[in-house]
Amino acid sequence: MKAKNPLHLREAWVIFFVLGLVMLNFPFLHIFNKDIQIFGIPLIVLYLMVGWPLSIAIIYLFSLLLDTGEADDGEPPAAPPQDQA
C-alpha cells in the first residue's frame, strides 16, 4: 500500500507544528489555567501532560508513514557513487 503524496505529508507536518505552537501559547494556557482539579490534579498539568505526549505520538506516526512511503516506491535503493581512483 502506497503512502499518500509526500507533499500532503509535508503539509500535515506544518499543520501539526503550528498546532503544537498554538497549544503552548498564552491563550490556550490561560484557558486551562483554572482552579479546577480532576482526580486531584490541576487542569493545566493534565493539559500539558496529555497534550505533550499526544503531540509526540502524532509525530511518531507521521515518521512511520514517511518511512513506509519511501520504502514502497518499488525501486531499489540507489547505490552510493563509487570513487574513481
Q: How far apart are CA 57 and CA 16, in angstroms?
A: 12
What is the structure's pLDDT at 32? 94
What is the structure's pLDDT at 66? 74
Q: How far apart are CA 17 and CA 39, in angstroms?
A: 30
Q: How far apart are CA 57 and CA 79, in angstroms?
A: 33
Domain ranges of the chain: 6-71
pTM greater than the 0.85 cutoff: no
pLDDT per residue of the chain (85 residues) written in tens, 0 to 9: 455 566 677 788 788 888 888 999 999 999 999 999 999 999 999 999 999 899 889 888 888 877 766 555 556 556 677 777 6
How many CB atoms lie under 10 A from the CB of residue 37? 11
What is the structure's pLDDT at 62? 82
What single letter denotes the amino acid at residue 34?
K
State the residue for C-alpha cell 563509487: 82
